[in-house]
Amino acid sequence: MLIGLGIIVLGFTIIGLDSEPHGFGVMGLTIGPIVTLFGFLFQFFAIFYRGETKS
């Protein structure tokens, strides 16, 4: 789950690093939110994933 949290923080950092005002550049509007969404999806998968159980 720490990997997912790191991906989310990376996405928000990419949004913040955009050189355009108010984050209206390519990094702030496209790349950053996609990376952040991937981080949230990774977290969702990490929470609900069940490993193979041996019967």
Model confidence over 10-39: pLDDT tens digits? 999 999 998 888 778 999 999 999 999 999
What pLDDT is attached to residue 48? 92
40 pLDDT band, cuts 50/70/90, is: very high
Where would I find the H helices in the chain? Answer: 2-16, 26, 32-48
Residue type, 13: T
Block residue for tokens 């690093």: 17
The two tokens of residue 7 are: 């991906």
Query: Burial of 32 by CB count in 10 Å (0-12 exposed, 13-18 middle, 19+ buried)?
Result: buried
Does residue 55 carry a pLDDT above 80? no
Q: Is the pTM of this model over 0.95?
A: no
Rg (alpha carbons) of the chain, rounded to whole number: 15
